[in-house]
Amino acid sequence: MISLIIFQMFWCLNSNAQDWPGLNRYHYANEILKTMPNNGKRVVFMGNSITDSWINNDSVFFSVNNYIDRGISGQTSPQMLLRFRADVIYLNPAAVVLLCGINDIAGNTGPATLEMIEDNIQSMAELAEANKIKIILCSVLPAYDIPWKPNTFPAEKIATLNKWISDYANQKHFSYIDYYSAFVDERKGMKNEYSQDGVHPNKAGYIIMENLAQPVIRKLIKLKIKSEKESLF
């Protein structure tokens, strides 16, 4: 433990101030996690502020299920792609739950077409698959407008991106969680009872997400463990 603390101090002193992908955010936590037992049921949640805030709204959901939160507020899909090895693959999870896209549409790291977002999601999915990590793709939550980027008109772009994510998951036989349908209102925005700003879920919203995610994760982990056991014979 002392050596890890010293390493962390060295890392912080020498880290690049322009850590665009956010590799330093979870570096120390990842080093500790790698030393801990892994029961084969570890699941990483990869995402932006919606994932980042999830653990603060319901830390028990993560602790009792051996789920790991690796969300970073404000991030776009290219940033997540760059840290995917450090924050997902090297943690040796059974599965990763990927939720991203809204910040790309908002232009947080510059203009991004839907094709660019799709390419990054596909690349992360391929990395997971190549490393025998089950991937669970998630629909982007609805948003009628984006508070920090007004007049972005994201609603139709989100719907189009979600159609691609769903189709891609179906084509590749990946698991898919449809948050969008549970949250969307008549304007293709987020229902008021699930959010204060129309983009980020409140506690009630996170409960909805947990209820949708949990059966998908449990089924996938069960199938993965069964498959691994069968491969031994």
pLDDT single digits (tens) 76-109: 999 999 999 999 999 999 999 999 999 999 999 9
CB 62, CB 69: distance < 8 Å:
yes
Q: Strand, coil or helix: what is 48?
A: coil
The DSSP element (H or E) to which 119 belongs, if any, is helix 114-130
Below-70 pLDDT ranges, the chain? 1-17, 223-233
Place of tokens 């947080």: 108
Give how many domains the chain has, as a whole number. 1
Q: What is the pLDDT of residue 5?
A: 45
First to last CA, the chain: 39
Q: Which whole-number Å values give the CA distances from 94 to 100, 124, 131, in the listed order?
A: 20, 15, 10
Q: What is the pLDDT of residue 17?
A: 63
Q: What is the pLDDT of residue 221?
A: 87
Q: Which whole-number Å values give the CA distances from 124 to 20, 32, 82, 101, 167, in the listed order?
A: 18, 24, 9, 13, 16
Kindly give, in sequence order, each residue whose CB lies less than 8 Å from that of residue 193, ignoring residues fewer than 6 positions away. Answer: 204
Cβ count near 99 (within 10 Å): 24
User: What is the Cα–Cα distance from 42 to 91, expressed in whole angstroms?
Assistant: 9
CB 143, CB 159: distance < 8 Å:
no
How much is the CA Rg of the chain, to the nearest whole Å?
Answer: 18
For the domain that residue 181 is a member of, what is the CATH number?
A: 3.40.50.1110
CB 202, CB 195: distance < 8 Å:
yes
Q: Which two tokens stand for residue 33?
A: 């996690």
User: Would you say the pTM of this structure is higher than 0.75?
Assistant: yes
Q: Which two tokens stand for residue 95?
A: 């599965």
List, in sequence order, the alpha helices (H) in 142-202: 155-172, 180-183
Domain extent, residue 149, equals: 2-230
Q: What is the pLDDT of residue 22?
A: 98
User: What is the Cα–Cα distance from 75 to 102, expressed in whole angstroms?
Assistant: 9
